Structure formats: C-alpha cells, structure tokens
Amino acid sequence: MPTPLVGISTYLEPARWGVWDLPAALLPAGYHQLVQRSGGVAALLPPDENPHAAAHAVARLDALVVAGGSDIAPHRYGAEPGPHTGTAHPVRDAWESALIEAALDARLPLLGICRGMQLLNVVCGGTLNQHLEGHGGPPGVFSSHLVTPVEGTRLSALLDGPLEVPTYHHQAVDRVGESLTVSAYAQDGTVEALEMSVTRGFVLAVQWHPEAGEDLRVMRGLIDATR
C-alpha cells in the first residue's frame, strides 16, 4: 500500500537562521521525525485563514496530527484568562480547531499531542484547568512521569502500563468534552489521554510528548489506522 501521508499542524513564530530574521512556520523536528520513523510521510500544515483550507487539506491526507505548543485562548471554553495563562494565538487556535473539526467530519485518523489533546477537548465542548504544577521541567526542558492507560481503551491496546512518558505542560483537561473518553491518568489524577469510540474511527490524544521520546507505538497506531 502507498505510504500514508500524515499532516502535522504548525504555527507562526519569529525565527532566526543564517542572515535571516523573519516570521516562520515552525514545528520542532521531533514531530515529523516521529511520523517518518513510524512509517509515514510528513506534510507540514501552516495556519491558513481561508475558511475552506482545513477541509481541503484533510481531503488530501491519510491522517492528521495536531501538535503541542502554546496555551489555548480561554474564551474558547467560556473562561477568563488566569494569571498563569500565556498569550493568545487566535490564528493558530482557529486553524487547528478547523483541522480537528474537518478531520472528525471526514472520520480521518486523528492524533492530538499535548496542546492538541487540550484543543480536541475544547472543540468537543470541554474545558481546561489553566494551571497545575509538576508536569514539566524548567523552561524548555522536558520532565517525565508515569501514566496509566485505562483498561479496555484503544490506548491500552497500544501501550502496556503504567509507563514513563516525556512531559511538558502546565494546563490540562478539566471537564471532558462530549463523545470523549478518558483513556489514561497520571498518578495525581490528571487526564493524560482522551479518545473516541472505535465506531468514530481512530481519534486519540495524549497529554505527553511522544515526539520527545523513543516509543513509536502511539504514532504507529495512527499509521496503522490509515490502512
């Protein structure tokens, strides 16, 4: 079968390389490398304000990954910004929300990572805890902790648990969105994975960062779902 084409959301940031200092569509290399190591071809999806762009992109993909990154604007889940909540990125929020909605409508295999899990929850009507401690290292440094998959879930079929995972986040799922099921927890009770029923196709999201580790099983689950 053809190698699956996996789209990965990217975001716009100021960047410097060589003699250049310009806005750039940015994504840590671990994401596309994880797709490649898991048997897919990676296609990077920069924000697009065309209202039809997400659906057009999804129609050409075999799977979608919504990447980690900055905090989601609290107004999207009916909240005011807390003192620890970062600067809003409305273009990114809108783009990735549209990608998620298009993927769900098309039953395209979907994997959310960190922010991607939080945004999936928000798109499905859930809310977020805007700040918690103990799930990341110093700025720019991944930490690790144990997560335990929930028995009988899609995630538990992919992973043996409990297992140590790379982590870096200060927000988390609060109220779980409609049609979503919790499929892993951290030791402190933080929701670490969400999924939809297998009747909705492959829809899985994890709070940790598989692209920062060596475990390919979650991404291979996404790739296998395309076949």
> What does the pLDDT read at residue 3?
97
- What's the CA angle centered on 51, arms 46 and 57, to 5 degrees? 50
Give the chain's mean pLDDT. 96
SS3 99: helix
Tell me the percentage of the chain whose pLDDT exceeds 90: 94
For range 76-92, the mean pLDDT: 95
Using 50, 70 and 90 to split pLDDT, how confident is the model at 198?
Answer: confident
Q: Which residue has the tokens 């960190």?
A: 114
For residue 133, indicate whether it is catalytic. no
pTM of model > 0.95: yes
Which band of pLDDT confidence, cut at 50, 70 and 90, is reported for residue 199?
confident
209 carries an active-site annotation: yes
Catalytic option among 114, 124, 135, 192: 114
Count the neighbouring beta carbons within 10 Å of the beta carbon of residue 63: 24
Residue tagged active-site, from 96, 192, 195, 211: 211
Note whether 7 and 48 are within 8 A (CB): no
Residue 135 among the catalytic residues:
no
Give the C-alpha separation, 182 to 133, whole Å.
20
Which pLDDT tens digit goes with each residue over 26-63? Answer: 999 999 999 999 999 999 999 999 999 999 999 999 99
Mean of pLDDT values over 202-219 = 98
- Cα separations in angstroms, 105 against 92, 154, 168: 20, 20, 30
Q: In the chain, pLDDT over 70 holds for what percent of residues? A: 100
pLDDT, tens digit (0-9, with 9 covering 90-100), for 151-160: 999 999 999 9
**How sure is the predictor about 188, in pLDDT bands with cuts at 50, 70 and 90?**
very high
| Superfamily designation of domain 5-225 | Class I glutamine amidotransferase (GATase) domain (3.40.50.880)
Neighbours of 209 (CB within 10 A): 23
